[in-house]
Amino acid sequence: MHDQAEPAASAEEAAPITTLLSSRLLVLANLLRRGAILRYKRLTGLSSVEFALVASLGRRPPMSVARLAEAVGMDKGQISRALAGLVSRKLVARATNPRDSREVLVRLTRSGLTAHDAIVAGGLERNERLLQGMSAAEVAMLLAQIDRLTRRAADMLATEKNFS
């Protein structure tokens, strides 16, 4: 009797999830996110949550903590410690909303704007490096397809929420 080794499973059979577009996009997004976090930690001293807050506050009018939490996809409790650190380092200023004294508004200070500008400049440079070697037409097509997939994913999320 022969001991026949079973053929090795193909990558698709062994881990089909990794062949899905959503998995590939998650890998790409995570690589880009990790690189960005390392870069901005080095350039600005910001943690990943602080980076997200500074990037979201940007050069916008003051916003409520609840709106900021929604913008970064975290709850108010998750961002409160990071906001406190940014306030203590004078990158973010807090003020009571003149229209509703129960609400706190946050905005970037001059130093916070400097950190934000470094984030923007770094993002532009990283974007250029990522797209290097692609023609303008290829970039336009890629962005159009990403927009299309984003709309479809938003529809899919809405459908899932309806089932919840």
pLDDT by residue (tens digit) across 32-62?
989 988 988 888 899 889 989 999 999 899 9
Q: 2 lies in a domain? A: no
Rounded Cα–Cα distance for residues 38 and 102 (Å): 37
| Percent residues over pLDDT 70 in the chain | 91
pTM of the model: 0.72
> Token pair 């303008």 is at which residue?
136
Residue 11 counted as domain residue: no
**Domain of residue 157, residue span:** 134-164
Residues 115 and 154 in one domain: no
Higher pLDDT among residues 11 and 18, named by residue: 18
CA distances 160 to 10, 49, 127, 151, 154, Å, are 32, 27, 32, 14, 10
Shared domain for 88 and 126, answered yes or no, is: yes
Q: Domain for residue 7, yes or no? A: no
Q: In this structure, is residue 9 part of a structural domain?
A: no
Let me know: does 36 contact 79? Beta carbons within 8 Å: no
125-163 pLDDT, tens per residue? Answer: 999 999 999 999 999 999 999 999 999 999 999 999 999
Burial grade of 36 (CB within 10 A; 0-12, 13-18, 19 or more): middle
Residue with tokens 């984003």: 150
